[in-house]
């Protein structure tokens, strides 16, 4: 019985590969998607995008002084659904629901918590996501942009968040916090708009995309670009490159995990064996663990757009805090207190990356605290097991 | 001057991604490729392959008793060119030349050292490689096998090596040693033919392909299968899937390295920057580190066959010592003394894998010694920096 329960829990964790949380859902937080629109948005690279729309959601109440705002910035395959449910009967809540809610680490009784869908959000076809990217209609042509969409950066996500906040009359962030790609946004906020940011929480993050990370991220684009359905991004009136997208998602899933978890899962749930008879007798057959990864990726791919994945990879590859090719001077500008929370078993953005940022902050006399998440989930710890640092986050926000 | 020298050394290491050794080439060992042929070879899965030919080479002299034989088993992208040169003016020597030669750890003044090209060797078009695989002519059709070639296993490589040894009148191995995929062969030798094997050295190896490894290896096949030139393996009279093969090789290169090395290289040699203007302004442009990896992969791909890569991946995925789905009983049969040498920074076959094998050997009262290679090269340490354990290997072989 216990084994079945553990299996179900393990399966659940991987099923979304990101968000189902083995943690009591103690919330009755209900949220809804809001829409923000801007006629012309100028990108960091100098291009102008017309009619930009993004979704956002919030939890808790904005106070009269508008000084109780915490911005949550989402990860690569995530959305602005950071916490709560849209309907009480939703199966799952937002990905950081374990730490965002009434009385939780990020206490919605006290804070107005807000999150914004990124540009080129990968979940372009999720009805709960509003984003502008290559799959959007280019007003100049009446057709989807495809690769005519300009390259966008983490800074552009930040600037759009700033526009959303300003539209609400907000001029200051009590804190900004995010995991993975969300950490890039949080750090860029602190480096670029130091007057805005009092506290910054970087979870499973990095201060820059180093050569290793850039090459690793590039791999996620390879299956899409090789899929003959991709057609240089022009697939919106034909079949999309689903095989390539699914393969890319299997890469992402494995990169976000660690062998300790993955092997336990394979052995306990799939009765995996190296010498499975299918693969032994047919070069095109696949091992159970591979099929399993692909099936789950295919489920997730239904709401995703392949070009959007390419654009998100590029945004991450281009990332360096402050976006000026110089981490030292970017850190110089930071006024926020920082809390750096890598995962000890992370193989995607390894702890050395958070540590480098923390050390740079300390060297320059900034207030920075470094703590590692522990467990065998790898990178995913920062999303699915963030509650293990609830007390530290609460304490950090109280300072 | 020193910086230039370091850059050249780093570049050299990556250039072949496997074999250029920052170590004085103190050898005058000259070898030549030999050919072994067998009319009918029965595979582990029960298929029969006709006219199987593989290459082999040797270093040192076989003594009268034929009891001084050390078999070297090669890694995934390797060949039987383990040591020495074909001509004195060859730029590079075999990949383990640092430890195989007169007076070296594997002393060719004393031992007859032999190595055999694997079936489906990836370097199918290298004039110094003789192999039988999907690119070979099927005698029944007069055309290349393509995917009609049967799935082959690590056991088949072992059995073919045994046939080569028997053709020379050899009935016993003083030792068997190999890195990575070569370690799989070495372990399978010890588990399957315990009467043959007195000593086994597993370098950057594993006793089985666990779920993590199986899924990770699968990735190497993805770009090839998505390349429209692949055509289900039937590309021998058209254009081969070069883009897919090159992409797969970039995956392999990065998997074999570690961020510490990779980032130092990117920063020092390429003047890498996250915010390079090409990728910032063009979604199809690539970062310098990506282009650099691809250019080197393209050089290596010239001698390689994409289907062969798929078959080698499958052989590794199917691997469990003894090939009977039971590592415990496989280890039970081992009589060899074992030396297990993982790389401390390995991200491909992590140290836990060698450690598991070592612990299983110890639990069953077998003689096993565990030592880690150190340095920032990752998996590649076991090929390019093996000489750091020269003394331990020499000592192990003296026992």
The per-residue pLDDT for range B345-356, each reduced to its tens digit, is 999 999 999 999
Q: What is the mean pLDDT of residues B295-303?
A: 97
Q: How far is A102 from chain B (nearest CA, A)?
A: 39
* Contact by Cβ (8 Å): A181, A312: yes
Would you place residue B271 in the very low, low, confident or very high pLDDT band (cuts 50, 70, 90)? Answer: confident
- pLDDT value of residue B22: 37
Q: What is the mean pLDDT of residues A189-212?
A: 98
Q: What is the mean pLDDT of residues A243-265?
A: 97
Would you place residue A381 in the very low, low, confident or very high pLDDT band (cuts 50, 70, 90)? Answer: very high
CB contact (8 A) between residue B250 and residue A215: yes
Q: Please give the mean pLDDT across all residues of chain A.
A: 93
- pLDDT value of residue B177: 98
Contacts of B251 in chain A (CB under 8 A): 219, 222
B71 DSSP assignment: E
A105/A391 Cα distance (integer angstroms): 7
- Upper half-sphere CA count for residue A76 (Cβ side, 13 Å): 27
Chain B interface includes A153 (CB < 8 A): yes
The per-residue pLDDT for range B226-247, each reduced to its tens digit, is 999 999 999 999 999 999 999 9
Chain B interface includes A270 (CB < 8 A): yes
B3-7, B85-89, B319-323, B340-344: the lowest-pLDDT one: B3-7
Contacts of A281 in chain B (CB under 8 A): 45, 151
Helices (H), chain A: 2-15, 154-167, 181-192, 211-226, 242-255, 259-269, 277-281, 288-301, 306-317, 327-333, 351-363, 381-384, 390-398
Which tokens is B305 given?
Answer: 């066959």
Q: How far is A20 from chain B (nearest CA, A)?
A: 21
DSSP code string of B91-138 = SS--TTTTTEETTSSEETTT-EEEEEPPTT-S-TT-TT----STTSEE
Residue of A nearest to B273 (CA): A325
B132/A274 Cα distance (integer angstroms): 24
Interface of A with B in 112-141 (CB under 8 A): none
The per-residue pLDDT for range A285-310, each reduced to its tens digit, is 999 999 999 999 999 999 999 999 99
Q: Which of A95, A103, A16, A105 is nearest to A57 (CA)?
A: A95
- pLDDT value of residue A3: 46
Interface of B with A in 191-220 (CB under 8 A): 208-212, 214-216, 218-219
Q: How far is A170 from chain B (nearest CA, A)?
A: 30
To the nearest 10°, the Cα dihedral for A315, A316, A322, A327? -150
Q: Annotate B24-43 with b (16+ C-beta within 10 A) or e (fewer).
A: eeebebebebbebebeebeb
Q: What is the mean pLDDT of residues A262-290?
A: 93
B386 DSSP assignment: G
- pLDDT value of residue A16: 44
* Residue A188 phi, psi dihedral angles, 5° rounding: -65, -35
Write the residue in A212, A286, A318 that is nearest to B280 by C-beta: A318
Residue B8 has pLDDT above 70, yes or no: no
The per-residue pLDDT for range B155-178, each reduced to its tens digit, is 999 999 999 999 999 999 999 999
| Residue A379 falls in the annotated catalytic set | yes
pTM here is 0.94
| Residue B282 falls in the annotated catalytic set | no
The per-residue pLDDT for range B102-111, each reduced to its tens digit, is 999 999 999 9
Q: What is the mean pLDDT of residues A69-86?
A: 98
The per-residue pLDDT for range A212-227, each reduced to its tens digit, is 999 999 999 999 999 9
Would you place residue A275 in the very low, low, confident or very high pLDDT band (cuts 50, 70, 90)? Answer: very high
Contacts of A283 in chain B (CB under 8 A): 147, 149, 151, 233, 310-311, 314
- pLDDT value of residue B269: 78
Residue A139 has pLDDT above 80, yes or no: yes
Residue of B nearest to A44 (CA): B280
Burial class (CB in 10 A: 0-12, 13-18, 19+), A347: middle
Residue A170 has pLDDT above 80, yes or no: yes
pLDDT more than 90, % of chain B: 91
More confident call, B265 vs A372: A372
Q: What is the mean pLDDT of residues A322-349?
A: 96
- pLDDT value of residue B267: 83
Residue of B202, B346, B384, B385 with catalytic role: B346
Residue B14 has pLDDT above 70, yes or no: no
Residue A11 has pLDDT above 80, yes or no: no
The ipTM (two decimal places) reads 0.93
CB contact (8 A) between residue A275 and residue B320: yes
Residue of A nearest to B222 (CA): A223
Q: What is the mean pLDDT of residues A181-189?
A: 98
- pLDDT value of residue A325: 83
Would you place residue A271 in the very low, low, confident or very high pLDDT band (cuts 50, 70, 90)? Answer: confident
| Residue A346 falls in the annotated catalytic set | yes
Residue B87 has pLDDT above 70, yes or no: yes
Residue of B16, B115, B118, B180 with catalytic role: B180
Would you place residue A207 in the very low, low, confident or very high pLDDT band (cuts 50, 70, 90)? Answer: very high
Residue of A117, A198, A346, A385 with catalytic role: A346
Q: What are the Cα distances from residue A332, in Å, to A72, A202, A335?
A: 23, 17, 8
- pLDDT value of residue B137: 98
């Amino acid at each position: 019985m216990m084994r079945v329960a553990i299996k179900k829990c393990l399966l659940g964790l991987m099923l979304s590969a990101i968000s189902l949380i083995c943690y009591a859902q103690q919330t009755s937080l209900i949220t809804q998607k809001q829409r923000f629109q801007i006629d012309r948005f100028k990108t960091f690279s100098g291009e102008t995008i017309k009619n930009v729309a993004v979704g956002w959601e919030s939890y808790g109440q904005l106070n009269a002084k508008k000084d109780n705002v915490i911005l949550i910035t989402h990860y690569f395959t995530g959305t602005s659904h950071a916490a709560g449910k849209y309907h009480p009967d939703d199966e799952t809540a937002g990905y950081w629901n374990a730490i965002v809610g009434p009385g939780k680490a990020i206490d919605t009784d006290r804070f107005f918590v807000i999150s914004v869908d990124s540009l080129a959000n990968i979940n372009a076809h999720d009805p709960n996501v509003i984003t502008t990217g290559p799959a959007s209609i280019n007003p100049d042509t009446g057709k989807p942009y495809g690769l005519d969409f300009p390259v966008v950066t983490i800074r552009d996500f930040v600037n759009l968040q700033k526009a959303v906040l300003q539209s609400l009359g907000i001029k200051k962030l009590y804190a900004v916090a995010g995991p993975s790609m969300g950490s890039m946004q949080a750090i860029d906020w602190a480096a670029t708009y130091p007057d805005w940011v009092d506290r910054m929480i970087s979870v499973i993050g990095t201060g820059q995309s180093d050569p290793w990370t850039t090459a690793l991220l590039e791999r996620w684009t390879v299956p899409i670009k090789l899929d003959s359905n991709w057609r240089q991004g022009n697939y919106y009136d034909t079949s999309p490159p689903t095989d390539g997208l699914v393969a890319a998602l299997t890469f992402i899933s494995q990169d976000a995990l660690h062998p300790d978890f993955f092997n336990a899962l394979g052995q306990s749930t799939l009765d995996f064996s190296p010498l499975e008879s299918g693969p032994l007798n047919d070069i095109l057959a696949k091992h159970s663990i591979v099929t399993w990864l692909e099936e789950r990726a295919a489920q997730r791919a239904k709401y995703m757009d392949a070009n959007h994945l390419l654009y998100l990879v590029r945004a991450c590859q281009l990332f360096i805090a402050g976006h000026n090719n110089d981490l030292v001077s970017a850190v110089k500008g930071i006024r926020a207190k920082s809390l750096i929370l890598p995962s000890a078993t992370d193989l995607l953005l390894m702890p050395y990356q958070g540590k480098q940022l923390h050390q740079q902050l300390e060297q320059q006399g900034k207030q920075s605290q470094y703590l590692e998440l522990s467990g065998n989930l790898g990178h995913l710890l920062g999303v699915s097991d963030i509650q293990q640092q609830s007390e530290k986050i609460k304490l950090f926000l109280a300072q």
